[in-house]
Amino acid sequence: MLFSEIIGQEAIKKQLRLSVREGRIPHAQLFAGVSGIGKLQLALAYAQYLNCPNRTEEDSCGQCPTCLQFEKLQHPDLHFVFPIVKTETADTCDAFLEPWRQIILNKHYFDLDDWHQALGVETKQSMIYEKESGEILHKLSLKPYGNGYKVMIIWQPEKMNITTSNKLLKLLEEPPAQTVFLLVTEHPEALLATIQSRVQTILVPRLEKETITKALVSQGMDVLKATDIARIANGSYLTALKKADETEENQKELHDFIALFRDAYTVGVLRDPQKKYESLKRLRQWSLDMADSKVGRERQKHFLQYAQQQVRENYIRNIGQEELNYQMAEERNFSVKFAPFIHNGNVEAIMNQLETAERQIEQNGNAKMIFFDLCLQMIVLIKKPKI
């Protein structure tokens, strides 16, 4: 990948190019930032620039045999580690290299949910298993194919289990010659502190609204629509792409959010006993539907993250800061009446409950109990008065 193909991030590109030209090449770097801002793309472009024999001050040449191999993600000195869901016949990243290459080459910007869909395992959680550490050691023990660097790109290193993390730590402490580790993460705080201390962290910022707007327009989108989407994308080009291509799943999350809080309001605030009873039954069914194994842990977590975002947006709207509000039209329509119920008397507690539920799902807790308890908590919190 060329630096010129990456949307925005000019300051980071300049920093990376300068480090190569001046020969200041850290053996391990951590690209950290939110999803969809180009972290993996920067790592790929940097790896190619590092190894291109004909690089200029601005970019790789893009034409030499090395660049052509890097463009196809098939250079012998380019290695990848990423979360997988192992099977009886496939238990390391090498078994999933083809779909991995395809998702990078075809989608460019993607997240863990997209990767799971590419693997056809939406309802399972992925991780980087212990066996992968042996594969890393083996690959890096080989001599470089060319005169450049062996590059090990680890995407979502926070998904490593503790054994893998400790073995990686030893490699970072005594790295093989001519080897560069590039870690790409959304959650640097989830890494071992000892790993964090042994990498040079590059904080990749959110993209400017103007940058996202320009990128969307270049894809053929109307300027007004692109501007609106860029405003609510919160600096993530991937978010902008997903907002531009609303799916049934996006609509379902809004529907589930509305169902939860409408019935919680009816049970918690209204006095009509029949309506309370009917709403309580619907909440019970809602919790069972959300806990259905067909939904899967990742989608359950995604909904809880979405719900946290919407609670934030409604609170922002309630306190009169609409210029900081990031919602689509359908979400704004619901917020007109709902926002007054998210205020300083309950917003923090509601967010805590949603975060707790997300964490419990992550820890493989009983989904039926988690979601029904969430319903009961929302009934109590929605009727709390302002402070």
pLDDT tens digits, one per residue of 4-60: 999 999 999 999 999 999 989 999 999 999 999 999 999 999 999 999 999 999 999
The radius of gyration of the chain from alpha carbons, rounded to an integer in Å, stands at 23
Considering the domain architecture, whether residues 132 and 267 belong to the same structural domain is answered as: no
How far does the chain reach from its first CA to its final CA, in angstroms?
53
**Residue 387, in any domain of the structure:** no
**Residue 44, in any domain of the structure:** yes
For residues 44 and 64, give the distance between their C-alpha atoms in angstroms, rounded to a whole number.
16
Nearest 5°: the CA angle 37, 233, 319 is 130
Considering the domain architecture, whether residues 105 and 20 belong to the same structural domain is answered as: yes
Point out the domain boundary residue: 145, 180, 205.
Answer: 205
Strand partners, 29: 182, 200
Considering the domain architecture, whether residues 145 and 293 belong to the same structural domain is answered as: no
Domain containing residue 99: 3-205
- What is the pLDDT averaged over residues 183-199? 92
Is 291 a residue whose pLDDT tops 90? Answer: yes
Residues in the chain: 387
Place of tokens 């951590």: 30
User: What local confidence, expressed as pLDDT, does residue 175 receive?
Assistant: 84
Point out the domain boundary residue: 243, 261, 289.
Answer: 243
Q: How does residue 301 score in pLDDT terms, banded at 50, 70 and 90?
A: very high
User: What local confidence, expressed as pLDDT, does residue 251 receive?
Assistant: 78
Considering the domain architecture, whether residues 229 and 318 belong to the same structural domain is answered as: no
User: What local confidence, expressed as pLDDT, does residue 123 receive?
Assistant: 55
Considering the domain architecture, whether residues 103 and 18 belong to the same structural domain is answered as: yes
The dihedrals phi and psi of 289, each to the nearest 5 degrees, come to: -65, -40
Considering the domain architecture, whether residues 227 and 327 belong to the same structural domain is answered as: no
What CATH number is attached to the domain comprising 91? Answer: 3.40.50.300
Considering the domain architecture, whether residues 170 and 318 belong to the same structural domain is answered as: no
**Residue 131, in any domain of the structure:** yes
Contact call for residues 326 and 269 (beta carbons, < 8 A): no
User: What local confidence, expressed as pLDDT, does residue 246 receive?
Assistant: 65
Is 149 a residue whose pLDDT tops 80? Answer: yes
Is 248 a residue whose pLDDT tops 60? Answer: no
Q: How does residue 176 score in pLDDT terms, banded at 50, 70 and 90?
A: confident
pLDDT tens sequence across 156-170: 999 988 888 888 888
**Residue 89, in any domain of the structure:** yes
Q: What 3-state class would DSSP assign to 202?
A: strand
Considering the domain architecture, whether residues 187 and 52 belong to the same structural domain is answered as: yes
Q: In Å, what is the CA distance from 75 to each residue of 16, 48, 67, 144, 156?
A: 20, 9, 9, 11, 21
Point out the domain boundary residue: 243, 265, 292.
Answer: 243
Considering the domain architecture, whether residues 50 and 177 belong to the same structural domain is answered as: yes
Share of the chain above pLDDT 90, in %: 65
Is 361 a residue whose pLDDT tops 80? Answer: yes
- What is the pLDDT averaged over residues 146-155? 90
Place of tokens 């030499």: 64
For residues 49 and 21, give the distance between their C-alpha atoms in angstroms, rounded to a whole number.
10
Give 270 or 356, the one with higher predicted confidence.
356
> Average pLDDT of the chain?
90
User: What local confidence, expressed as pLDDT, does residue 250 receive?
Assistant: 67
Considering the domain architecture, whether residues 156 and 30 belong to the same structural domain is answered as: yes
Q: Which of 143, 100, 136, 146 is nearest to 28 (CA)?
A: 136
Which helix (H) or strand (E) is 298 found in, with range?
Answer: helix 297-318
Handedness of CA 234, 2, 82, 197 (dihedral sign): negative
- What is the pLDDT averaged over residues 308-328? 85
Number of folded domains in the chain? 3
Is 124 a residue whose pLDDT tops 80? Answer: no
Is 247 a residue whose pLDDT tops 60? Answer: no
Q: How does residue 87 score in pLDDT terms, banded at 50, 70 and 90?
A: confident
Considering the domain architecture, whether residues 82 and 198 belong to the same structural domain is answered as: yes
Considering the domain architecture, whether residues 193 and 53 belong to the same structural domain is answered as: yes
Q: Residue 231 contacts by C-beta under 8 Å, 6 or more apart in sequence?
A: 209, 326
User: What local confidence, expressed as pLDDT, does residue 15 receive?
Assistant: 95
Give 117 or 122, the one with higher predicted confidence.
117
**Residue 30, in any domain of the structure:** yes
